[in-house]
Amino acid sequence: MPSKSASSSLPVVKISRRGAKRLQDGHVWVYRSDIISAEGVAPGTAVGVTDERGKFLGTALYSSASQIAIRMISPHAVDDLARLIRERIHGAIIYRERVVRDTDAYRVIFSEADFLPGLIVDRYHDLLSVQVLTQAMDAEAVRNVVVTELSERLKPVSIAERVDPRIRELEQLPARPSGLIQGGVEAETTSTIFSMNGVRFRYEALEGQKTGAFLDQRENYAAAARYAQGEALDVFCYQGGFALHLAASCSKVTGVDSSRPALEVADRNAALNNRDIEWVEANAFDLLRDYADAGRRYDTIVLDPPAFAKSRSNLETALRGYKELNLRALKMLRPGGILITCCCSYHVSPDQYREVVGDSARDVHRNLRIVENRGQAKDHPILLNVPETEYLKCIIAYVSN
């Protein structure tokens, strides 16, 4: 039998002094190397956490597989997990009602940042898309609470689950297909049209790439559109998020991506908005080099590459990649041009990214004025004390010469 904590009926996990210090500093994770004992604790259960001396530190969700063994959910003893989850979902929805504007597509629940570690829920108009990332959130009882609460509060036509097989493997969870977890299977319950900032997009819950859209860029699209003008190039355009927003104020827009399926959706999105955008399937590095060599010039360039630094170990290579992109873009911008340059690697800090952009500007003898220093949209909250929740950088700069 696992031991019980004095203050609740939860099984107990004891953690090291270093782990306890981390929690005192406001973080919500404890790594496996800081677990002293977790005997008999079933995978994915709620546990009471104590320090070495047995002092109660709070309630957490336990993973028997992840390097992040403990994800805190409360500083108190939680005896009714279902009720806590319902309250957290309600709290997440209330926060969005306060901060989300001009869209019917946004992240409803963002894991730790909404005190529901391991759960991501996105809304696309009348559809919800759920991602389960941990053993605890995969438990049948928890899934039922989540689906019921989301249905009652948001009344979606359907709820789809998007499964990342790699994550299930890492959490030692049995394989499971993506699919609807609530609602019918007719075409109209798995696809919809959503809008952000007045721009419309198609969404298919059960086909295409990872998710329907990069919702974290929503406010940056609107900001970019405020300054964009002339001839614009959207590099790493995916399904056209930036390009479609730029089209409102630019005379010509070209979107570049290496993924043909993404460009096909981008083209359908352009038609939906009656926009004429040129889509180019290419490797962005090669294309930027060729275009720069050919003397092409632009008034607005967006750089929004995938995360180059997946871990700290390849940070140097990643920084070189970011620098090369910025260098080439800056060479092609006309005086008075606008650079919108993004980096979604958590491992690259906002200061480091500014330095990359600054170094690039120096190397090509351009002067940059920072117009806006931006990050992720407010529906992807940043928790003070949990640095991992802040990951997106978006610098909008004006080329002075």
Residues at the interface with ligand SAH (CB under 6 A): 214, 217, 236-239, 241-242, 257-259, 262, 283-285, 304-306
Question: Minimum Å distance from CB 259 to ligand SAH?
Answer: 4
Question: Minimum Å distance from CB 304 to ligand SAH?
Answer: 4
d(CA 268, CA 48): 51
d(CA 173, CA 43): 10
Residue 377 · residue 217 · CB < 8 Å: yes
Ramachandran angles phi, psi of 320, nearest 5°: -65, -40
- Of 340 and 356, nearer to ligand SAH (C-beta) is 340
In sequence order, which residues have a C-beta less than 8 Å from that of residue 291 and are 6 or more positions away?
Answer: 233, 332
Residue 164 · residue 143 · CB < 8 Å: no
Q: Per DSSP, what are the bridge partners of residue 398?
A: 338, 369
Question: Minimum Å distance from CB 113 to ligand SAH?
Answer: 20
Question: Minimum Å distance from CB 237 to ligand SAH?
Answer: 6
- Of 5 and 239, nearer to ligand SAH (C-beta) is 239
Q: Based on the residue annotation, tell me whether 344 is a catalytic residue of this protein.
A: yes
Ranked by CB distance to ligand SAH, the top (closest) residue is 241
- Of 214 and 279, nearer to ligand SAH (C-beta) is 214
Ramachandran angles phi, psi of 371, nearest 5°: -85, -45
- Of 284 and 309, nearer to ligand SAH (C-beta) is 284
Question: Minimum Å distance from CB 318 to ligand SAH?
Answer: 13
Angstrom distances, CA of residue 387 to CA of 92, 244, 319, 390, 395: 19, 32, 20, 6, 19
- Of 118 and 241, nearer to ligand SAH (C-beta) is 241
d(CA 366, CA 358): 9
- Of 180 and 204, nearer to ligand SAH (C-beta) is 204
d(CA 117, CA 379): 15
Amino acid type, 253: V
Question: Minimum Å distance from CB 214 to ligand SAH?
Answer: 4
Question: Minimum Å distance from CB 217 to ligand SAH?
Answer: 4
d(CA 284, CA 322): 12
- Of 29 and 227, nearer to ligand SAH (C-beta) is 227
Question: Minimum Å distance from CB 297 to ligand SAH?
Answer: 21
Which candidate in 237, 342, 343, 344 is catalytic? 344
Buried b (16+ CB within 10 A) or exposed e, 5-31: beebebbbbbbbeebbebbeeebbbbb
Rg of the Cα atoms in the chain = 23
Nearest to 115 by CA among 141, 86, 147: 86
Half-sphere exposure of 319 (CA within 13 A, CB side): 18
283-292: long-range pairs with CB below 8 Å, 24+: 283/258, 284/235, 284/236, 284/256, 284/257, 284/258, 284/325, 285/324, 285/325, 285/328, 287/235, 287/256, 288/235, 288/325, 288/328, 288/329, 288/332, 289/328, 291/233, 291/332, 292/328, 292/331, 292/332
Q: Which residues are catalytic?
A: 344
